[in-house]
């Protein structure tokens, strides 16, 4: 307890930054991932190709390399100047969006084809059909895998500590500099992440019960 109480304010600030980084990246990745899923099921071959290429490249690229690009390589392009924190948000969002896309696409595939055909028979456009008919049904079946993706995003925020972004991943370095027991500190960090994951798991259970559908 001495390690925690002595550095409590530092732990609090670090996990606060972790939550902020997670929240922003989660929102952006959910929006982008859903748009990518729409591209992947689009009737236009070019759009499907763009979505497929994005997912294939990002899913098969280590997250650390994505960070390296946006922190070190991207500034050399001199397109738009961004700091390390913004680079971390962009890297996490773009990387996670590829996984969100596949989760949403798998949910879309669970919706009977007849739903789409009936929508088209009624004169709905592809966008209207997807947004008003297919996606609301698809989201019911993707809650568990989407929660797992968000939990993975939460843990992936620690990668940012290697690129000068302050959050929970920096606690080890702080404790080491002060001569505190690093192992005990890391155990508290692990417990902190367990505590952060619990609300996500609870939200998953709530939505599963609310959106449960007999199949």
Mean pLDDT of the chain: 82
pLDDT in tens, 112-158: 877 777 877 877 777 888 877 888 888 878 888 888 899 999 988 88
**What is the tally of structural domains in the chain?**
1
Among candidates 25, 20, 15, 193, which has minimal Cα distance to 95? 25
For residue 27, tell me if it sits in a domain: yes
Point out the least confidently predicted range of 35-39, 158-162, 202-206, 209-213.
209-213
Say what angle helices 182-210 and 171-178 make with each other, to 10 degrees: 160
CATH assignment at residue 191: 1.10.3720.10
- 94 or 185, which is more confident? 94
Whether the model clears a pTM of 0.85, i.e. scores above it, the answer is: no
| pLDDT value, residue 4 | 62
* Domain of residue 179, residue span: 2-210
CA 174, CA 140: separation in Å to the nearest integer? 43
pLDDT in tens, 71-121: 888 888 877 788 888 999 999 999 999 999 999 998 888 888 777 778 778
For residue 206, tell me if it sits in a domain: yes
For residue 215, tell me if it sits in a domain: no
């Amino acid at each position: 307890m001495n390690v925690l109480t002595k550095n409590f304010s530092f732990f609090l600030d670090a996990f606060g930054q972790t939550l902020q980084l997670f929240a922003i990246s989660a929102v952006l990745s959910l929006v982008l991932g859903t748009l990518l899923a729409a591209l992947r099921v689009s009737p236009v071959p070019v759009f499907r190709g763009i979505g497929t290429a994005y997912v294939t490249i990002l899913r098969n690229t280590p997250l650390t390399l994505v960070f390296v690009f946006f922190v070190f390589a991207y500034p050399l392009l001199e397109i738009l100047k961004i700091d390390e924190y913004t680079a971390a948000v962009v890297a996490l969002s773009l990387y996670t969006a590829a996984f969100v896309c596949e989760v949403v696409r798998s949910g879309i595939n669970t919706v009977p084809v007849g739903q789409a055909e009936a929508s088209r028979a009624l004169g709905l456009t592809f966008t209207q059909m997807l947004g008003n008919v297919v996606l609301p049904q698809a989201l019911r079946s993707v809650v568990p895998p989407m929660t797992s993706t968000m939990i993975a995003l939460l843990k992936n925020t620690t990668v940012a500590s290697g690129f000068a972004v302050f959050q929970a991943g920096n606690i080890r370095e702080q404790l080491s500099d002060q001569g505190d027991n690093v192992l005990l500190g890391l155990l508290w960090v692990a417990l902190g992440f367990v505590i952060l994951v619990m609300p996500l798991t609870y939200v998953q259970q709530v939505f599963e019960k609310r959106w449960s559908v007999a199949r």
